[in-house]
Chains A and B, each alone.
Chain A
Amino acid sequence: MIKIEKRNDVSRSIYFLTPVLAIFLTLFGGGIIFFILGFNPIEALKFFFITPISDLYGLSELLVKATPLCLIAIGLSYCFKSNNWNIGAEGQLIFGGIVGGGVALLFYNHDGFYVLPLIILSGAIGGMLFAMIPAILKTYFNTNEILVSLMLVYVAKLLLDYLVVGPWSNPEGFNFPETRQFSDSARMPILFDGLRIHAGIFITLITVFLSWLILYKTYLGFQIKVSGLSLKTAKYAGFKGKTMIIIVFMISGACAGLAGVGEITGPIGQLHRNISPDYGFTAIIVAFLGRLNPIGIIFASLIVALTYLGAETAQIFLQVPKYTGQVFQGMILFFLLGSDYLLFFKIKFLGLKKNEL
């Protein structure tokens, strides 16, 4: 007989330590996988987790990769904390990219300090508006926000496909599905010569700081927290649920939209069909790995970004299949959810002693 019981007293420090435990379990599990594949596990793990960030270029790439992940995950934490399941950050990112990219093309060959801020702002608004669709449908028509936000990802992708193949494609580009390269005035300033890390990282850091203020020091943050813990309590306390739902979706969408403009005005420099390697979905792992906490999300985004870089390095040096990166991401989430289960529930082995029954 096995009995599962809810634990009443979950220690706060252990709650924040389990992600670390999940990472160690992932390393261990990954080592076993490498061993089975016929690689020296220590060497493979070294190429996976240490070599990619052993020089300045690698560190800069880590930040380039972590910047959008962190930004989106911060936005998602507003939704997830308040029991709103926004799964469509990828779509909001793409839509933000479309709007921002459209402005960038509108100001093609314009110089002026106002161009880039305008692009960034329009990208954020684009993401925000796109996220309001599932929010409004949820609050006024009682639809399921998981389905609506997820399906809207495909709408955004198809819209992007249409634009880069058709009306926005580069007139000198032989019909290839991409727009022009944006002018310099529409590009994020590069922070150091020879590296790709760009000013977008400041947007992310400011967002993290503001989010910490909002989530922990304001009435809105309190509302979000209470709604997350118990919707009934929130209603009883007289919180206006609908407004809050729309606000968290707006914030979340704006963050994803900012991540989208950060990519197209940063490392990519144009619109094409692959502006995001599923950052919007990976950020869901980041948000949970970071415990929906702004500081935690910073660390989580760095670790998940490292799994991308590591997969490339491990393939270059050892020809380890590149999909191990996704396996690692999956393992981290699996171990995190697994240890959460054990954290919140007790498993009692009652045995089969008849006299005790």
Chain B
Amino acid sequence: MYKLFLRSLISVLFLLGFSLNANAEFKVGFVYVGPTGDHGWTYQHHEGRNAVEALGIKTTYVESVPEGADAERVIRQLAQSGHDLIFTTSFGYMDPTNKVAKDFPNVKFEHATGYKREHSNVSTYSARFYEGRTLLGHMAGKMTKTNTIGYIASFPIPEVIRGINAMTLAAQKVNPDIKTKIVWVFTWYDPGKESEAAQALIDQGADIIMQHTDSTAPVQVAEKAGVWSFGQASDMQRFAPKSILTSIIDDWAPYYVERSIAARDGTWKQQDTWHGLKEGMVAMAPYNSAMGSDLVKEVEQLQKDLASGKVHSFTGPIYDQKGNILVAEGAVADDGMLAGMNVYVKGVEGDIPK
């Protein structure tokens, strides 16, 4: 009896919440994994939110939400407090997002970089960062003197391995002697660890530093050591003006604007989005003129070709480290293969941590 009473009370409260929300204005919520001032991953999502806000749509964000037990509460609170569309911007929010989505069928959810869409109100989205890595590889292959590229990697997930491979393939194309050295730091954001990794790579002879982590520490170390580097997620040029050749920029704004308008106008549908240079979700910061105008022109052309689809980052022949063929001559890796990529291509040193 008591339990029955409690249950009905809960459902009444839930319903009350719904009916109150029904007349409220359209609102979009964002859940961030880091602080808005990280100048990397979260900063760019926050820029995307600003673009939505600029349309006159009301938005809310919660920053530094740990990917543990707290995430579900934050997402649920956003849903409960009348947000109609909620972007959860880190992989670790995958299960909580789907769990909350089940209880709020009228609220739309967008989960970044995940693969679970368990309910019809959950979409996933991610960017083809590897296309940017191809451009980086081209520049790195041309600019290196020691033929050694230092790569600071976060976690051995397909997205990161894809980036390493795309970069290495492009670098080999212009410089067959290239070697890619990798340090795994097992974090997305830890300036201390990242700068140690950068220093270690420079000590091992790398004269190009690139990162799949979010802090500005590696480019700053590169600037000090006088080697080239590439920024990550946002334009990090001002943190290392001499060293940075360009940055891969995550531009979420167009997507956030499009999806917010769709949700507001009632045309939102579940989808799995994977956008790249073509749609502008991956963009490049201005190229450093220190690499010479010829190389800048080459890279700009390559960027156009990648965007138009004339060139694909993973065009065969591609071999793994042992020399087995992964993609046949002339063929192109399909999205299924890219999504589950878990082997290094030839030319990358070391093993994937298992």
Contact = CB atoms under 8 A, between A and B. Distances in A.
Nearest to A61: B73
Contact of A176 (B13, B68, B155): B155
Interface of A: 55-57, 61, 64, 161, 165-166, 174-178, 181, 192-196, 263, 266-269, 272, 274-277, 308-309, 312-313, 315-317, 319, 321-323
26 contacts: A56-B9, A56-B10, A61-B73, A64-B69, A161-B186, A165-B155, A165-B353, A166-B353, A166-B354, A174-B158, A175-B158, A176-B155, A192-B7, A193-B7, A193-B10, A195-B10, A267-B69, A269-B95, A272-B68, A274-B92, A312-B62, A312-B77, A316-B62, A316-B74, A316-B78, A322-B63
A328 B190 CA distance: 25
A194 B14 contact: yes
B185 to A, nearest CB: 11
Given A166-B354, A315-B63, A268 B10 contact: no
A194 B92 CA distance: 22
Given A64-B69, A194-B10, A319 B60 contact: yes
Nearest to A268: B69
Contact of B103 (A64, A192, A194): A194
Contacts of B155: 165, 175-177
Given A175-B155, A268-B68, A322-B64, A312 B73 contact: yes
B157 interface: yes
A317 to B, nearest CB: 7
Given A165-B155, A322-B62, A263 B342 contact: no
Nearest to A178: B92
Nearest to B73: A61
Interface in B124-160: 155-158
Contacts of B69: 64, 263, 266-268
Interface residues on B, range: 35 or more
B350 to A, nearest CB: 15
B66 interface: yes
A29 to B, nearest CB: 22
B208 to A, nearest CB: 25
Interface in B44-88: 60-70, 72-74, 76-78, 80-81
Contacts of B176: none
Contacts of A317: 60, 81
B7 A175 contact: no
Contacts of B60: 316-317, 319
Contacts of A196: 72-73
B90 to A, nearest CB: 11
A18 to B, nearest CB: 30
B157 A174 contact: yes
A159 B29 CA distance: 35
B68 A274 contact: yes
B49 to A, nearest CB: 11
A245 B318 CA distance: 62
Contacts of A161: 186
A274 B67 contact: yes
Contacts of A195: 10
